[in-house]
Amino acid sequence: MSSILPALLGLTLMLPRVQALTCQSGILMIGRKTSELPLEWKTGEEFCMDGWDCQDSLMLIENGPEVFLALSKGCTQKEDHDARITQHRKGPGLSVISYTHVCRHKNLCNDLSSTLPVWTLPTSAGENKGGKLGHRGPC
């Protein structure tokens, strides 16, 4: 029995370890005029626990000429998934759209740095609104 314990310890040390990631990290909640969009930001970094992934979560709520942005970036235990854009409510009036992404393919892979993936710019010069919430194309 005394020889089993060293053998088990040796086997455990030979198993591949899941590498800990470094992720972009930050929280932002801000209100702006729609004419000020798209917005860009910079974030800090954090070291994740072994096996954790990086995540981006963004929610934009548009109400007439105003928009509220909630952003969260950092480490998560959620499973990997490609960028997802979900339109929860489409105007007139109130519009709500979210963006989520969970990754682990490299350090700092949660690299969302602006509202561009969810903010559609005006299509004609006659529009005086800053833009519209909506899918802007492939992520």
Identify the three-state secondary structure at position 12: helix
The whole-angstrom distance between residue 135's C-alpha and the CA centroid of its chain comes to 15
For residue 116, give the CATH number of its domain. Answer: 2.10.60.10
Has residue 8 been placed in a domain?
Answer: no
**What confidence tier does 7 reach under pLDDT thresholds 50, 70, 90?**
low
Has residue 2 been placed in a domain?
Answer: no
Give the total number of structural domains in the chain. 1
Has residue 120 been placed in a domain?
Answer: yes
* pLDDT above 80 (res 6): no
Identify the three-state secondary structure at position 11: helix
The span from the CA of 3 to the CA of 112, in Å, is: 52
Q: Cβ contacts of residue 116 below 8 Å, gap of 6+?
A: 38, 136
Has residue 63 been placed in a domain?
Answer: yes
For the segment 94-134, what is each residue's pLDDT rounded down to a tens digit?
Answer: 999 999 999 999 999 999 999 999 987 544 333 434 455 55
Strands (E) across the chain are located at: 22-33, 44-47, 53-63, 66-76, 81-89, 94-103, 119-120, 132-133
Residue 20 or 130, more confident: 20
Whether the model pTM is above 0.85: no
Has residue 3 been placed in a domain?
Answer: no
Has residue 87 been placed in a domain?
Answer: yes
* pLDDT above 60 (res 5): no
Task: Find the domain containing 115 and state its range.
Answer: 20-133
